[in-house]
């Protein structure tokens, strides 16, 4: 398996400044990025995503820990010796050069022959659908086109890893959706490992093979979009990705696989468990709104009064106020023409399947 690892971070920390100004931008981050995968760093602004990319690119050196690229220790290797290229957040296109000159820059630095450079530049512009734009200056292009030039420029050197720092954040929604598909296609076509940064959870879920959720310089959870969404390990991840209902409960009984939890209302619910739970301990349970349903079963584990009904087209959101829990959200698919199952003010039960309950590690 080891040869499949493109990037291996081992307890990497990065501290800026010293004394009272000290900022720990990365705090003992360990993660492995597989060769050829679309890997995403997801987290709120200021959580250290850019810092992590800059460490990979070589613009910053880790304060602690080590970074390996295909087994090679990177420390001390300057940016221009790393087989890694970056698509910068601001694009950073050279304003005094034409599009073609921008794209050929890296090739010239590598000492590629003139004929080969011409061929590769055409190929790259073709790849990003900008054939014929080679003689323009960056300032004569739209934001989306500049974005593509930045991509072509970074891909021209055929890097082992491509780093993308929020490349889509400056684009409007429609263009962003197009570029998301485009990026996936490029990654498929080239087979290059993409390390993609975003603070947009939807973007991260739809594009990534795997992702890491970061907060305050820490890597909180690493996994496939499905793992992260369905089985968030802690409150931050559960909250940051999608909507979630949080319930405080006490462990009744639990083994490694499943457990019974007692809600403040006294109701007992079944759920997926995890190691190290002892009876009587207080835990937080997470439950996605779409995994819960309204029911008229009198034994439903939660009961409450519908406060609000919001129609979303594909589904409807019910906000149910539940004693000792607060506002609980239930989403149900609009399969029968979108007629609300119950109106505001009516009292309903809420039920869910045992595997919908996730015990958080806090």
Ligand X SMILES: Nc1ncnc2c1ncn2[C@@H]1O[C@H](COP(=O)(O)OP(=O)(O)O)[C@@H](O)[C@H]1O
Cβ closest to ligand X, residue 130 vs residue 213: 213
Stretch that binds Mg ion, among 8-16, 42-50, 57-65, 351-359 (CB under 5 A): 42-50
Instruction: Establish if 85 lies at the interface with another protein (CB under 8 A).
Output: yes
Instruction: Establish if 18 lies at the interface with ligand X (CB under 6 A).
Output: no
**Closest by Cα among 9, 4, 94 to 51:** 9
**Closest by Cα among 3, 2, 341, 39 to 162:** 39
Backbone angles phi, psi at 37, to 5 degrees: -95, 160
Residues near 18 by Cβ (< 8 Å), separated by ≥ 6? none
E strand or H helix at 194: strand 193-198
What separation, in Å, do the N-terminal and C-terminal C-alpha atoms of the chain show? 31
Instruction: Establish if 51 lies at the interface with ligand X (CB under 6 A).
Output: yes
Residues near 339 by Cβ (< 8 Å), separated by ≥ 6? none
Instruction: Establish if 79 lies at the interface with another protein (CB under 8 A).
Output: yes
DSSP 3-state of 48: coil
- Choose the contact partner of 51 out of ligand X, another protein, Mg ion, none; CB within 5 to 8 A by kind: ligand X
Cα 63 to Cα 31, 121, 179, distances in angstroms:
17, 38, 35
Instruction: Establish if 76 lies at the interface with another protein (CB under 8 A).
Output: no
Instruction: Establish if 46 lies at the interface with ligand X (CB under 6 A).
Output: yes
Q: Which of 6, 9, 12, 25 binds ligand X (CB under 6 A)?
A: 25
- Choose the contact partner of 47 out of ligand X, Mg ion, another protein, none; CB within 5 to 8 A by kind: ligand X
As measured in angstroms, the least distance from the Cβ of 40 to another protein is 20
For residues 271 and 279, give the distance between their C-alpha atoms in angstroms, rounded to a whole number.
14
As measured in angstroms, the least distance from the Cβ of 165 to Mg ion is 6
Backbone angles phi, psi at 285, to 5 degrees: -105, 140
Stretch that binds Mg ion, among 47-55, 291-299, 304-312, 313-321 (CB under 5 A): 47-55
Instruction: Establish if 40 lies at the interface with Mg ion (CB under 5 A).
Output: no
Instruction: Establish if 23 lies at the interface with ligand X (CB under 6 A).
Output: yes
Compute the half-sphere exposure of residue 130: CA atoms within 13 Å on the CB side of its CA. 28
Which residues in this chain contact ligand X in the complex, by CB under 6 A?
16-17, 23, 25, 43, 45-51
Which residues in this chain contact Mg ion in the complex, by CB under 5 A?
50
Which residues in this chain contact another protein in the complex, by CB under 8 A?
57-59, 78-80, 84-86, 88, 90, 92-96, 98, 105-106, 109-110, 135-137, 140, 153-154, 157
């Amino acid at each position: 398996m080891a040869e499949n690892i493109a990037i291996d971070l081992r307890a990497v920390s990065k501290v800026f400044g010293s004394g009272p100004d000290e900022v720990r931008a990365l705090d003992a981050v360990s993660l492995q990025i597989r060769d050829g995968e679309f890997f995403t760093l997801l987290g709120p602004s200021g959580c250290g995503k850019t810092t992590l990319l800059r460490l990979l690119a070589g613009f910053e050196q880790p304060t602690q820990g080590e970074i390996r690229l295909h087994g090679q220790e990177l420390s001390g290797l300057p940016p221009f010796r790393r087989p890694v290229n970056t698509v910068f957040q601001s694009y950073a296109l050279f304003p005094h050069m034409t599009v073609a000159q921008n794209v050929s820059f890296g090739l010239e630095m590598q000492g590629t022959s003139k004929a080969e450079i011409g061929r590769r530049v055409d190929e790259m512009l073709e790849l990003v659908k900008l054939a014929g734009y080679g003689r323009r200056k960056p300032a004569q292009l739209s934001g989306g086109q500049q974005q593509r030039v930045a991509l072509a420029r970074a891909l021209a050197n055929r890097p082992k890893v491509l780093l993308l720092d929020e490349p889509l954040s400056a684009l409007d929604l429609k263009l962003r959706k197009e570029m998301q598909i485009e990026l996936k296609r490029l990654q498929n076509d080239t087979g290059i490992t993409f390390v993609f940064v975003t603070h947009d959870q939807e973007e991260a879920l739809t594009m990534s093979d795997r992702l890491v959720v970061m907060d305050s310089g820490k890597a909180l959870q690493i996994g496939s979009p499905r793992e992260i969404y369905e089985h968030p390990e802690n409150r931050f991840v559960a909250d940051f990705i999608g909507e979630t209902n949080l319930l405080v409960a006490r462990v009744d009984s639990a083994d490694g696989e499943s457990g019974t939890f007692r809600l403040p209302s006294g109701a007992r619910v079944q759920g997926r468990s995890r190691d190290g739970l002892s009876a009587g301990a207080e835990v937080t349970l997470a439950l996605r709104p779409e995994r819960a349903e309204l029911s008229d079963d009198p034994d439903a584990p939660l009961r409450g009064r519908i406060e609000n009904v919001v129609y979303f087209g594909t589904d409807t959101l019910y906000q149910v106020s539940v004693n000792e829990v607060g506002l609980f959200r239930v989403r149900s698919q609009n399969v029968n023409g979108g007629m609300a199952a119950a109106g505001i003010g009516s009292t309903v039960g809420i039920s869910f399947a045992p595997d919908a309950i996730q015990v958080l590690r806090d």
